[in-house]
Structure 1
């Protein structure tokens, strides 16, 4: 890949960001060597690895490879039979501990976890736990061996401690004895590895011992008393034995490690590669990036891409296509409008994607595989452009034309600038025509009107512009495909205060064709804005229509369900009444037959007739619908538009839709039903109302106006939406329903794969104002509906 273009497109800065996410020197080295690839299979493999690392990071966090030390030199020494030092063995031990930790990280915790392309790396790891444990037990630090490394070492160090105690005891006795007057200071000191006393020079003959040193002035001699010479000799011998035993221990550990040379080497290789892969995953997470889809047809389709080196809070996403219906895109617009950023975004995304990195754009963005990316981009813009600047750009262009082919992506920033505008525009058109005729994917930015006309009149060439707000004199950074940009020089100059007579004089120097072309661009811009506004309105109306259609369907389903339930209950009740009447009739006939055979008095027959009459009245009263009465008498003035009421005869709640007439009749809206009801059949529903500043808006007269949350629907339809879209719409709906004291409410999400339902349930679990939620029962929508109750 062209190294000069990599620098122009700032790919090295992406490498620096990637390297910062590596936690081992080996992984960082891998990151610094990353380059865009041209083999589609290798690119797809690298993208799969990045995606797998991204998924694991989201689930388990970022693993640390900090203990992954380079041990290749130590392994070579083991191969030739050399013994390793304590620091070398300690690094091998740390490497094996890191191996064990990463091996544990790579295990799938749940049986339903899907395997990914990183499993092969985790399977290669061999923690060698016995060797790692033995090294950790024996070596405490780079210069410290454990007493428990061997029984002999423990015994030697115990002897050393005893000998030290004995020497200190003897020396202390001399300090506090007759030699006290001969000493410069009452201390025990060391010279070399021998214990000595600081003796005044004039008392040299009074102290029997070996002189090891003297002070700079010569007034103090450091003498080893003869009483401790042998003890010092014995101590030195013990130290020598300790070092010999340490070498034996290190040799033993080296022999143990030599048995696993190949496993240790493979561990290191797998760890640094995993560190590199997880660095790519961590960078994707940091950038909020997604995996691009690659093709070999030269097609680029970026969906809301954000340049990764710009502030993510301020950068304006761009959507761009190239190589589908056109292979040459000419971007025009004012300076600082975002043309160069758009150019760099496309080039940098191509390099990142082919290097196996995710790109900061929406998913399903497409990139093509190019063998080379050529970029002629000037990092510095100057009002005065000299011949040398033009020559520099032309040198780059010439080098491109000598090597460019159909599998190349070419990017020009201000093509043809730096020379006479007429000649520059002609050269630019000629160069772009040459590339276009060869089918080479090309993007170019320009200020030349001639290039705008060239793009409008040439098939397979498309205009684009970076939008500019003349009112605020600021760019919006939105890239608009299919529309040439307007220079806005006159409008900007007028806003900045340039006298009107100068602007009018300047316009006289424009040819009639130039002025007509600029007017055409203005009309196109106005038409575009009008069409976009109308398109948004149509989309809004369509969404509202779909919502109303869904609500109507749901209401109809509710009514059908209620109707079926009422019919079933009425049939059951009628059957009971018929059966009861039949039983009573049978009993009555039986009694009268008995009266006919026996001599029964008239008074007894009258009593029986009275009992039958009471039973009939009781049955009639039980089956008659009792008309409920309101809790209190209401007047017509008590009812207002929008009041919540209960229709007693129908046992339904609704909203007052019209004021009472002279007879006390008014219309009540009950869901999709609108019915005329008398006020004697109504009962006002008194609901506590809590209104916050968010639901109340001040009018110009200072009065308070209620928000639309007071008329919220009892359900929301989220069918066909993604989880993110559904959660955003559901969040506002639940706020409105909660404020309107509407509980419970229904969330219609459908069954499908269950992804939308699971996403909604995860969101509901985090809401503190929700008391409970459950799936709908039979007749409520089953698993396609969730019922929510508020606290």
Structure 2
């Protein structure tokens, strides 16, 4: 944006000054001062991502380790030209190199924690580590720029010699302080012109001897270098000259070491400044509780709870500002002191902030347009030097705006058409708005003219708005009301302040019928809005109560399902345990009978009382009625009567037998080996008759009954499909009406393989996933024909 005037009008420079407070480096402060909005969407997204990611780091109670750094532009320029640097400049370069290494280490540490900030590492990866130079400077120069004795062996030796010479001088002068105390004006050793001297009274100048280097302001004291320490002072002076020469040599040597890397140092300074610039934007966003905006290519603005950034954030009134989608022009009418100008500035300033890479003082999800220019005519810009009236000044600015705007521009007008005859001003304002509407620019304007209320109501892409005014308290609420024009409150306020009724009545008669109709319309709209707000608030309360009730019911329903599942699973476990125990006991009894038969021999029979005892043992295995009703054990009643001579399976014992007699409709005598037992029809399942290959007294199944569940989770595809085919055959032989295949979720390959087999199987009627609380798509329920 090349419209520099807008930054002054909207006080954008004050926002930049607030951001600069958080910057640590001089170069970053310079970058902040040069901040300008952009209309390039890719650049805007990059800037906002940088601010957002830096804010994320700050919210983790961390920050990029950037100390206060001076601008090294002059030093780097001298380095590029080959000029020697002084100790302070070298120390500042050393501080920059240390900061560079700390930044590199900082982002490496974040990466080790699997925390990545690509918009920031884009800059951090451009930093160049120079550890050798950093170490050289650390060993040679202090942070204040003084050269350390460790910089060279020669310098260390010179400074040791200086210390020794100074000590010898002090020892000799200390003896003189004692021996000639009466000739001295003070008992102290001092330095004049770089040489150690004593303060001697003026009257003893000839008796004391030595070289005079200075005298007091009164002339009563002379600072004399005694002859005894003159040679030591000369030696000390020589050592000081040697020290300066060695320091100059060391600085020149360090400078020569830095020269090949002047470009890398320059780049590091730019990287640190850029990261400091970004972190300052994030710090400012945190101080404002600002949020990242989204951008609309169609210039649709939706600022939710927008706040002016330069006002006290604890006191400012937030407003929703919506513009550009359903209407391009927002005309705000109403009396002064209602907050119209602040709202106008808020829109423009927040838009400039967002297009400059700053987060905005609005709620999350707020949207900004991408405008090529922002123009504003706000406030009294009367120029005394140009002898222009208020109207002329505003019109001059308006003409400039109309000449430079495009359909992608945002225009802000405060009191459009004011400063002249109301009728002409209103006509002029409507004409200007109509022209802007033709161009397609987005505009927000404030006005006092009642004619513009009607214009905003009738004009295309235009809507009325006003600032709410509480007539009860005679004060504005500073809330924006979109869709409702403002109305004059002068008569209402005057009435509440005690103005006579006859005066008010005469004033009302002086108001045109059209104006009264408009005011009545506005009053009705405000009343309807308040009613709508009350109804909306009541609806929200009812909705919240309904949602809470629904949540409570859902919670109770889920708890009931869990309890139900727990009870069912517990019943299954107990029933299965009893079935297994009964099967084991039945097998044990049958084995005992077989053992007895073997003991008696093939031609002998077992005694009757022994058979009765064993039969009673079988009867004792019958389950009590309440357990038989358990869903796990309950069997569907046979649809047709079993015939004598048919082979059946006695379900409760898991044994094969033959029906030899029907006692009643629901009871049969079944021969199981040498045992004859009365069995209920519900406990019988017909099976194909199998001819015995050998004559035995007792028959037992080869194995236990096939389970209704197959679990192939974790198996290889081929192995799982092979087991599935075998299981389906066994399940069909066991007359299971339905079975469950547990295949798991995983990659889905095994699940698809299972369903492919089921689709091709001739005895499968249908199949479906299990219920959500029984495994969902991790298992398939199969129904046989």
Q: TM-score, normalised by structure 1?
A: 0.70
User: Over residues 143-166 of structure 1, what are the superposed CA-to-partner deviations in whole Å (9 max), with x where a residue is unaligned?
Assistant: 633222222122222222222222
2:69 maps to 1:68: yes
Q: Does 1:241 align with 2:242?
A: yes
Is the Cα contact below 8 Å between 2:53 and 2:117 reproduced in 1? no
1:497/1:561 Cα in 2 relative to 1: closer, same or farther (>3 Å)?
same
The reply on whether 1:44 has 2:42 as its aligned counterpart is no
Distance 1:493 1:150 in 2: 89
Instruction: Report the counterpart of residue 172 of structure 2 in structure 1.
Output: 170
Is 1:262 the equivalent of 2:263?
yes
Name 1:337's counterpart in structure 2: 338
Instruction: Establish whether residue 18 from structure 1 lines up as the match of residue 12 from structure 2.
Output: no
Aligned residues: 620
Q: How far off is 1:378 after superposition?
A: 1.7
- 8 Å Cα contact 2:381-2:393 kept in structure 1: no
After TM superposition, give the deviation of residue 56 of structure 1 in Å. 2.5
Whether the 8 Å contact between 1:306 and 1:315 is mirrored in structure 2 is yes
CA distance in 2, matches of 1:245, 1:281: 47
Equivalent in the alignment of 1:524 = 525
Q: Within 1, Cα distance between the matches of 2:152 and 2:107?
A: 36
User: How far 1:264 moved relative to its partner?
Assistant: 0.9
Q: How far apart, CA to CA, are the structure 2 residues paired with 1:459 and 1:392?
A: 29
Is the contact between residue 69 and residue 94 of structure 1 (CA under 8 Å) also seen in structure 2? Answer: no
Counterpart mapping for 1:609-758 below 5 A: none
Deviation at 1:201, TM superposition (A): 4.9
State the match for 1:469 in structure 2.
470
In the TM superposition, residue 461 of structure 1 has moved relative to its aligned partner by 1.1
SS at match of 2:468: strand
Larger Rg: 2
Shift of 1:559: 3.5
Superposition deviation, residue 42 in structure 1: 2.7
Report the Cα offset of residue 585 of structure 1. Answer: 13
Cα offsets for 1:441-497 (capped at 9, x unmatched): 111112222111111122211111222222222323222222222223322222222
Residues 618-658 of structure 1: per-residue CA shift (max 9 Å, x gap): 99799899xxxxxxxxxxxxxxxxxxxxxxxxxxxxxxxxx
Q: Is residue 302 from structure 1 mapped to residue 303 from structure 2 by the alignment?
A: yes
* Whole-angstrom CA distance in 2 between matches of 1:490 and 1:780: 73
Q: CA 1:487/1:380 → structure 2, altered by over 3 Å: closer, same or farther? A: farther
User: Cα 1:781–1:248, aligned 2, differ >3 Å: closer, same or farther?
Assistant: farther
* 1:218 shift after superposition: 5.2
Match of 1:375 in 2: 376
Match of 2:149 in 1: 147
TM superposition shift of 1:261: 0.9
CA contact (8 A) 2:185 2:201 kept: yes
Matches of 1:36 and 1:351, distance apart in 2: 6
From the superposition, tell whether residues 242 and 600 of structure 1 become closer, same or farther in structure 2 (CA, over 3 Å).
closer
CA deviations 1:731-765 (Å, max 9, x no partner) are: xxxxxxxxxxxxxxxxxxxxxxxxxxxxxxxxxxx
Which residue is equivalent to 2:140? Answer: 138
Deviation (angstroms), 1:548 = 3.6
* 2:501 aligned residue: 500
1:182 deviates by 4.9
Counterparts of 1:202 and 1:465 in 2: how far apart (Å)?
A: 93
Q: Structure 1 residues 538 and 255, CA, compared in 2 at 3 Å: closer, same or farther?
A: same
Find the counterpart in structure 1 of residue 128 from structure 2: 126
2:661 counterpart residue number:
none
Moved more, 457-466 or 99-108: 99-108
User: Which stretches in structure 1 are left out of the alignment for 5+ residues?
Assistant: 626-777, 783-791
Contact kept, 8 Å, 2:582 with 2:621, in 1: the verdict is no
> Residues 620 and 45 of structure 1: is their aligned pair in 2 closer, same or farther, counting only changes over 3 Å?
closer
Alpha-carbon RMSD across the aligned residues, in angstroms, is 3.8
1:617 Cα deviation from its structure 2 partner: 14
1:111 Cα offset (Å): 5.3
Match of 1:320 in 2: 321
CA–CA separation in structure 2 for the residues paired with 1:95 and 1:580: 82
1-structure distance, mates of 2:363, 2:304: 5
Shift of 1:213: 4.1
Q: Residue 23 of structure 1 contacts residue 64 of structure 1 at CA under 8 Å; is this kept in 2?
A: no
* Residue number in structure 2 paired with 1:454: 455
CA–CA distance in 2 between the matches of 1:422 and 1:569?
88
Change (3 A) 1:83 1:469: same
Unaligned regions of 5+ residues in structure 2, if any?
A: 630-771, 777-785
Structure 2: distance between partners of 1:54 and 1:599: 93
- Distance in 1 (alpha carbons) for counterparts of 2:184 and 2:543: 105
Q: Distance in 1 between matches of 2:505 and 2:388?
A: 32
Distance in 2 between the 1:30 and 1:78 partners?
A: 23
Post-superposition offset of 1:211: 3.8
Find the residue that maps to 2:410 and give its secondary structure.
strand
Mark the CA change 1:102 to 1:622 in structure 2 (over 3 Å): closer, same or farther.
same
Q: Contact conserved, 1:171 with 1:188, CA < 8 A, in 2?
A: yes
SS at match of 2:211: strand
Given that residues 68 and 271 in structure 1 are in contact (C-alpha distance below 8 angstroms), is that contact kept between their aligned partners in structure 2? Answer: no
SS at 2:60's partner residue? Answer: helix
User: What TM-score do the two structures reach when normalised by structure 2?
Assistant: 0.71
Report if aligned partners of 2:91, 2:145 keep a CA contact under 8 Å in 1. Answer: no
Q: 1:692 — aligned with what?
A: none
C-alpha distance in 2 between matches for 1:463 and 1:98: 55
5 Å matches for 1:763-778? none
SS state at 1:68 partner? coil
